[in-house]
Amino acid sequence: MTKPLPARYRTTNWSSYNAGLRKRGSLLIWVGKDMAWLAPHDGRPGRPSVFSDAAIQFCLSIKVLFKLPLRQTAGMEEADRIPYAKSDRS
């Protein structure tokens, strides 16, 4: 008697799959209020920067420290950025 073949699942909704990977884990990190999360407007032509150099360095350091894939690091940054973006603009 042979074993039945295992079911094979295929991802059809890649946007929800990627969102699920970003939401997989949560981590609370306290950052000082003096850290500028959004980049200052410098008045140069072209598309303005969204994140400050300190914010990019912070995210890349967390990525290396915890050996995270880029999607999970982006998810962490996206979840943490919302309170800073609201507090910086007010």
In a domain, 77, yes or no: yes
At how many degrees (to 10) do helices 70-89 and 53-66 cross?
150
Does 25 fall in a domain?
Answer: no
- pTM for this one? 0.53
Inside any domain, residue 10: no
Tally of domains within the chain = 1
Whether 58 is in a domain gets the answer yes
Domain that holds residue 74: 49-90
Burial of 63 (0-12, 13-18, 19+ CB in 10 A): middle
User: Is 63 part of a structural domain of the chain?
Assistant: yes
- Determine the Cα–Cα distance for residues 44 and 79; give it in Å rounded to an integer: 29
pLDDT < 50 stretches in the chain: 82, 84-90
Which one, of 13, 16, 51, 22, lies nearest residue 35 by Cα? 51
Instruction: Give the pLDDT confidence score for residue 85 in this predicted structure.
Output: 45
Residue 29 lies in a domain: no
Q: Is residue 57 part of a domain?
A: yes
**Per the domain annotation, does 69 fall within a domain?**
yes
- The confidence score (pLDDT) of residue 34 equals 83
